[in-house]
Structure 1
Amino acid sequence: MKIVIIEDELLIANDLSQTLREIHPEIEIQALLPSVELAVQFFQTFPTVDLIFSDIELEDGFSFEIFKSVKINTPVIFCTAYDAYALEAFKANGVEYILKPFSKTLLEKSLKKFESLRHSLNESLSRQYKATTEALEAYQKKTVSTLMVRYRNQLIPISFSKIFLIYIENDLTYIYTTQHQKYVVPNTLDEMESKAGESFFRVNRQFLVNRNSVRETHHALYRKLSIVFTFDFNREVLVSKEKTSKFISWLSQ
């Protein structure tokens, strides 16, 4: 069986590749592709493989952009950090998915499902891809619900609902969770703002604040607001005067 893995996290891609070969030693990994651009180039040259394992969010876009650019008649199993609720929209369309962090058992089940359906899949793949991409694009416009965080040798899924603060410190982007854990993330604050959704507010150039983290506010100098959090935090966080009225309106929602 010839398989392509589309994944921009090298650790995950190598782990997936190794686990698949442990399940079926006859599996051939044709390519590990970290981006939309490289995947499009690959499938323009090598269009025929048996199965694709693909992440949804890649370093240069979303994987469904690949299927818009190149005609692919190969089943896809998505390996993703999106929550199960979001994925129900396209699960019904016959495209399989497994949630990160995945296990060997889940991979075995997915491969068995693929084997049982592979002879009946090809005719309906175009319709399935179209329905899948439409569902994911609609969901993406709302919010990404889960963030994958690298910590030591682990990848930890953290829901945005479990994040109190997202902020910049010493030119690095951090998240501070409801479990009072602090993690570095590779994204810029602008990128995190686009992912976080309406539960977060960009109070200034350095801080994104979760509504549930705010206990109260006080007036500060120069018509700014000082935020008092529901937890101890050793830095003063101010709402810029240009954003105070919008912040109060957002907080009252």
Structure 2
Amino acid sequence: MNVLIIEDEDRTARQLERMLKKYDPTVHVLAQLPSIRESVAWLSQHPLPDLILMDIHLEDGLAFTIFEQIQLTVPIIFTTAYDAYTIRAFKVNSIDYLLKPVDYDELAPALDKFKTLRSVAGSPDLASLLQLMQQFRESPFKERFMITIGTKIRSVETSEIAYFFSEAKGTFLVTKEGQLLAIESSLDQLIGMMNPSQFFRVNRQFLVSRSGIQTIHAFSAGKLKVDLRPASRQEVFVSSSRLSDFKDWLGR
């Protein structure tokens, strides 16, 4: 298996190569490229590799620029310190999205997935492989949030989140255990990140998960009040413009 590493941190690139060799000693790392410019030049002058491990933030910009400059029909495992590009990554040739620091227990299943896809394709034809990737592709919706708390960074799985709300020009998430955490994304941005089967924006201030709803109270004129779990600091009503969609969502 021929692998290309696009990564601007030399230490990280060497760690990835060691893990690749641990997974399969016959893996051949063709090159380590730290920039968009060098990546485009290399890919234009050499046969395509079987697989690319690609960081997103490179020396001279975001790696997505590579796809704008060259037609790249190669499966890619993204390895990055940023979780904000998940959806964008899955719009290109991504078969997995690993957050740094990447360890062997995360990389190995991603490589297993690549081998499975290639074996199912039954041939080294990349067009067939990329078509199969569409069938095996994971959900493009956000699976976790990386949140800075003081000097620490905490990973919060979306399955842990009861609801989001906006207040005083800030946006916050509340975990099922009741922890309140500030996040950078606005509710408008979150709408495009969260799985709509699990999260619904009941009004301008609240985006709630199914598991975060404790009780729904019906008032006159079809008005609905939602009790959240954990309890919110203010009463939460479903906007009249969202009422019909909310009822449909509950019934799915």
- Bin for the TM-score computed over the shorter chain: 0.5 to 0.7
CA–CA distance in structure 1, aligned partners of residues 79 and 97 of structure 2:
5
Distance 1:228 1:147, change over 3 A: same
CA–CA distance in structure 1, aligned partners of residues 134 and 222 of structure 2:
46
Length, aligned pairs only: 214
User: Within 5 Å, which residues of 2 pair with 1:214-253?
Assistant: 214-219=213-218, 224-253=223-252
Task: Report the alpha carbon displacement of residue 211 of structure 1 after superposing the two structures with TM.
Answer: 2.0
User: Within 5 Å, which residues of 2 pair with 1:22-171?
Assistant: 29-31=32-34, 43-47=39-43, 48=46, 52-54=52-54, 70-72=70-72, 76-79=76-79, 97=96, 99-100=98-99, 102-104=102-104, 106-107=106-107, 123-133=124-134, 135-136=136-137, 139-140=139-140, 144=141, 146-152=143-149, 153-154=152-153, 156-159=155-158, 161-171=159-169
Contact 2:98 2:107 in 1 (8 A): no
Contact 2:5 2:13 in 1 (8 A): no
2:182 paired residue number: 184
CA–CA distance in structure 2, aligned partners of residues 246 and 111 of structure 1:
41
Letter of the structure 2 residue corresponding to residue 124 of structure 1: D
Distance 1:147 1:132, change over 3 A: same
Identity percentage of aligned residues:
23
Task: Report the alpha carbon displacement of residue 171 of structure 1 after superposing the two structures with TM.
Answer: 2.2
Contact 1:76 1:96 in 2 (8 A): yes
Q: Which runs of 5+ in 2 are unaligned?
A: 21-28, 57-61, 84-93, 115-122
Q: Which runs of 5+ in 1 are unaligned?
A: 7-12, 33-38, 83-94, 115-121
Tell me the SS of whatever aligns to 2:137.
Answer: helix
Letter of the structure 1 residue corresponding to residue 211 of structure 2: N
2:120 paired residue number: none
CA–CA distance in structure 1, aligned partners of residues 153 and 10 of structure 2:
13
Letter of the structure 1 residue corresponding to residue 16 of structure 2: L
Tell me the SS of whatever aligns to 1:204.
Answer: coil
CA–CA distance in structure 1, aligned partners of residues 113 and 244 of structure 2:
53
Matched, 1:20 2:16: yes
Contact 1:4 1:30 in 2 (8 A): yes
CA–CA distance in structure 2, aligned partners of residues 127 and 79 of structure 1:
24
1:9 paired residue number: none
Task: Report the alpha carbon displacement of residue 135 of structure 1 after superposing the two structures with TM.
Answer: 4.7
C-alpha RMSD over aligned residues: 4.8
Letter of the structure 1 residue corresponding to residue 144 of structure 2: L
Contact 1:78 1:98 in 2 (8 A): yes
CA–CA distance in structure 2, aligned partners of residues 2 and 79 of structure 1:
13
TM-score of the superposition, structure 2-length normalised? 0.60
Tell me the SS of whatever aligns to 1:46.
Answer: helix
CA–CA distance in structure 2, aligned partners of residues 212 and 112 of structure 1:
33
CA–CA distance in structure 2, aligned partners of residues 166 and 45 of structure 1:
44
Task: Report the alpha carbon displacement of residue 203 of structure 1 after superposing the two structures with TM.
Answer: 1.0
Letter of the structure 1 residue corresponding to residue 125 of structure 2: S
CA–CA distance in structure 2, aligned partners of residues 134 and 150 of structure 1:
31
CA–CA distance in structure 2, aligned partners of residues 17 and 111 of structure 1:
16
